[in-house]
Structure 1
Amino acid sequence: MSELAVILTAVAVLVLIGVWLVATANRLDRLHVRTDAAWAALDAALARRAVVARAVSGVLEPVGGDRLRVLAERAERSARAEREAAENALTRELSTVDRQGLALTLVAELVDAEQRVVIARRVHGDAVRDTLALRRRRPVRWLKLAGTAPSPEYLEIAEPELTDDTPRPRPSARVVLLDADDRVLLFHGHDPARTGETYWFTAGGGVEPGEDLRTAAARELREETGITLDPDSLTGPIWRRRVLFSFAGRTYDGEEWFFHARLPEGYTVDTSGFTALESETITAHRWWTTAELRETSETVYPVQLADLLPTLPAWDGQPRAVR
């Protein structure tokens, strides 16, 4: 091989090495940025969980509430070295809270905060793993390609237990719609997992994220009946019903808020706005008198509906707990 060829080969090798070094250094830089961003997201998720935990502590009995509040504040204030122990203590304490005794909106906030912690921790763990794997390569260590960037660390905290059989919080808004003859509109439907069990229920459905109850009630009424009402025209909430139920194989911790409205003159019920699931599970609708509700052997929700309807004119402005 000629001297020129040797020189060219050497130059090519050096160029390739230089390209690899630059590419590796750039990749390391991106990985460190990714790790920093993942830590910021995890830190924010943990902080939000602590805030929700303090809110929960305010409605618990004094001893348990004080203990939860102290642990939440300790988790917020802990330095990085003590963070794992503090967060794990908070996780353990939250697992002992009886969530059936909490307001459904607070349960939903807590479940959401815990889910965000799980997701953020896994994202952060993946980022730390990838960064450490590259930093531990011999050429990277020998040539100090990581520069002065500190080596990232895992946050070894226990994840809240999120299982499929945990009841899912479901706030909903419903409308007790009466016609000119004081008959109430009810739909007839069934659970797709138990087609042989049917029941009658009022118009309404789940509250969407960021939606207030009154707006949700008017939206559900429009979608299910074609009747458009101004949310401010609804009376209530008149009743509140807390119920644990299953639908399509999933268990829900439901909190139903009922509003009252009158059928506007000239309107008829139009169910063309049903979703595919509603079309599959709702088979009929009809107007019921109070007498018919008292005499029927069919299942009606709320179960007290026949006794509740006559009390509507005397509503005192406060939501009433019903079954």
Structure 2
Amino acid sequence: MAGFRHRNTVRALILAPGERFLMFHSRFDPGVDLPPQWIFPGGGMEPGETQIEALVREILEETGLEISPKEVNGPWAKHHFEFESKHEYDSGTAWFFTICVETEFEPASTLWTPEEHRDNISHRWVTIEDLLNEDLWVGPPGAIDLVANSLRSSHF
């Protein structure tokens, strides 16, 4: 193992009509010998931020969508994950929230970091069935089952 790193993150299920939600197809950091994965919008919490503050900031940075804390539902899940690769060992905690939107939109990349411009390949509005039927690799590990179970049992 090259090292150990734990990361606290916030993730959003940006939910449009028809239970379609936004996903990003993203590469891992350079040097990690893994294929790209599909991820939920969001990211790491900065020191001193609350989960809601981090989510509002990350959604603006990653999608251009300006939301108020009142538009955020959750967290409805706290998901611990670990995965091991050839180059590193990672663990993390992801808090999941829901943001309901009236229509699908085209995310803006104007506030992306250089790393996000490097790593983001594409984005797509999907249903849970799309992800499961196409057997897409979704991160963090176990997140797709968490979201599928929540969509089947809850009304956001």
TM-score, L = length of structure 1: 0.42
Partner of 1:303: 144
How has the CA–CA distance of structure 1 residues 291 and 169 changed in structure 2, closer, same or farther, with 3 Å as cutoff?
closer
Give, in whole Å, the separation in 2 of the partners of 1:199 and 1:219. 22
> What is the count of residue pairs matched by the alignment?
149
Aligned pairs for 1:16-165 within 5 A: 165=3
How has the CA–CA distance of structure 1 residues 267 and 281 changed in structure 2, closer, same or farther, with 3 Å as cutoff?
closer
1:187 equivalent to 2:24? Answer: yes
Q: CA deviation at 1:271?
A: 2.1
Give, in whole Å, the separation in 2 of the partners of 1:179 and 1:266. 6
* SS of structure 2 residue aligned to 1:221: helix
* SS of structure 2 residue aligned to 1:294: helix
Give, in whole Å, the separation in 2 of the partners of 1:306 and 1:238. 13
Q: CA deviation at 1:190?
A: 1.9
8 A Cα contact 1:225 1:269, kept in partner: yes
Partner of 1:13: none
8 A Cα contact 2:104 2:125, kept in partner: no
Q: CA deviation at 1:270?
A: 1.2
Deviation >6 Å, runs of 4+: none
RMSD across aligned positions (CA)? 2.3
8 A Cα contact 2:23 2:41, kept in partner: yes
Task: Choose from 64, 74, 95 the match for 1:257.
Answer: 95
Give, in whole Å, the separation in 1 of the partners of 2:52 and 2:64. 17
* SS of structure 1 residue aligned to 2:17: coil
8 A Cα contact 1:245 1:254, kept in partner: no
Partner of 1:231: 69
8 A Cα contact 2:77 2:97, kept in partner: yes
Calculate percent identity across the aligned residue pairs: 28
How has the CA–CA distance of structure 1 residues 263 and 205 changed in structure 2, closer, same or farther, with 3 Å as cutoff?
same
* SS of structure 2 residue aligned to 1:200: strand
How has the CA–CA distance of structure 1 residues 299 and 265 changed in structure 2, closer, same or farther, with 3 Å as cutoff?
closer
How has the CA–CA distance of structure 1 residues 216 and 246 changed in structure 2, closer, same or farther, with 3 Å as cutoff?
farther
Q: CA deviation at 1:196?
A: 4.9
Larger Rg over CA atoms: 1
Instruction: Between the two structures, name the one with larger relative contact order (CA 8 Å, sep ≥ 6).
Output: 2
How has the CA–CA distance of structure 1 residues 264 and 208 changed in structure 2, closer, same or farther, with 3 Å as cutoff?
farther
Give, in whole Å, the separation in 1 of the partners of 2:132 and 2:26. 19
Say which structure is richer in helix. 1
How has the CA–CA distance of structure 1 residues 278 and 250 changed in structure 2, closer, same or farther, with 3 Å as cutoff?
farther
8 A Cα contact 2:24 2:120, kept in partner: yes
How has the CA–CA distance of structure 1 residues 236 and 193 changed in structure 2, closer, same or farther, with 3 Å as cutoff?
same
* SS of structure 2 residue aligned to 1:197: coil
8 A Cα contact 1:184 1:287, kept in partner: yes
TM-score, L = length of structure 2: 0.83
Say which structure is richer in strand. 2
